[in-house]
């Protein structure tokens, strides 16, 4: 629960509330005949609803059930294989020609559900098992069950977080996560601001843009002026995205000065 009024912490809620106050009424329902009700009750996909389910959604649900039921045993086996690291390698290594031969080239024509399942299984076959305890690559490892099911749900909802009214839960989640992270770094959670980014590269590039906005706010509307001559500093071991941020911000990669460092100075 939140300890303060949501409309205070989330000004966008006031706009969304006003916008949808007249649209959030009960949708009209359509009466169905006795025969339709009996047919619906006999079909587990239709159910006994006052409003009949649209046929195209029934077909999509049947496809969904078929795919999930048939790929779930393979996903369970993936867990079991990853949990036996001495007898199961990280992956079946293959060069591109072999992968293309088994997965198939991209075609501009529809595929059957069984063909999709074959592609899914081959994708698992030739991919690394990041759940494997010997997977020690940088930055990430296998997800846990909660994360995996959450990704499943996110794919089903298939929304974006650009405006509140299409992603109310994810919008609130983003604000609350920013507050938690900001508090850990000493910021006031009532005034801290930020976004959740898809990765470190985007975050580093955004930090360059934020620094440019702080020191050269006119660039956003007017562009760089000859007298600006921006310069920034970064360790020689910094990630390539810092230089990319300088390039995209318009200051130029040569204006990002590399500072020598070692394992002690970073």
Which pTM value belongs to this model? 0.74
CA dihedral 173, 1, 21, 174 (to 10 degrees): -10
Q: Please give the full DSSP string across 149-200, using - where no structure is assigned.
A: HHHHHHHHH---SSSGGG-HHHHHHHHHHHHHHHHHTT--TTT------SSH
Length of the chain counted residue by residue: 266
Q: In degrees, to the nearest 5, what angle opens at C-alpha 150 toward C-alphas 149 and 151?
A: 90
Q: Are 232 and 226 a contacting pair, CB within 8 Å?
A: no
pLDDT tens digit string along 175-226? 999 999 999 999 998 899 988 998 999 999 999 999 999 999 999 999 999 9
H/E element holding 56?
A: helix 55-82
pLDDT tens digit string along 49-103? 788 889 999 999 999 999 999 999 999 999 999 999 999 999 999 999 999 999 8
Task: Collapse the DSSP code of 144 into the 3-class scheme (helix H, G, I; strand E, B; otherwise coil) and give the result.
Answer: coil
pLDDT tier at 264, thresholds 50, 70, 90: confident
């Amino acid at each position: 629960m939140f300890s303060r009024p949501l409309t205070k912490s989330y000004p966008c809620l006031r706009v969304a509330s006003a916008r949808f106050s007249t649209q959030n009424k009960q949708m009209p329902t359509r009466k169905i005949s006795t025969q339709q009700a009996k047919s619906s009750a006999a079909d587990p996909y239709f159910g006994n609803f006052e409003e009949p389910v649209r046929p195209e959604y029934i077909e999509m649900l049947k496809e969904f059930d078929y795919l999930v039921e048939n790929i779930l045993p393979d996903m369970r086996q993936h867990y079991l294989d990853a949990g036996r690291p001495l007898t199961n390698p990280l992956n079946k290594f293959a060069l591109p020609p072999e992968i293309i031969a088994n997965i198939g080239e991209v075609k501009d024509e529809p595929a059957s559900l069984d063909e999709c399942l074959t592609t899914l299984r081959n994708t698992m076959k030739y991919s690394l098992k990041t759940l494997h305890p010997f997977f020690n690559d940088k930055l990430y490892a296998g997800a846990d069950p909660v994360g995996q099911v959450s990704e499943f749900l996110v794919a089903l909802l298939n929304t974006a977080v650009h405006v509140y009214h299409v992603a109310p839960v994810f919008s609130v989640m983003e604000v609350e996560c920013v507050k938690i992270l900001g508090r850990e770094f000493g910021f006031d959670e009532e005034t801290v601001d930020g976004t959740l980014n898809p990765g470190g590269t985007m975050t580093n590039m955004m930090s360059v843009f934020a620094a440019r906005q702080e020191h050269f706010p006119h660039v956003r509307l007017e562009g760089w002026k000859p007298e600006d001559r921006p310069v920034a500093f970064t360790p020689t071991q910094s990630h390539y995205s810092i230089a990319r941020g300088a390039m995209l911000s318009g200051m130029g990669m040569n204006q990002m000065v590399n500072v020598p460092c070692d394992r002690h100075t970073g």
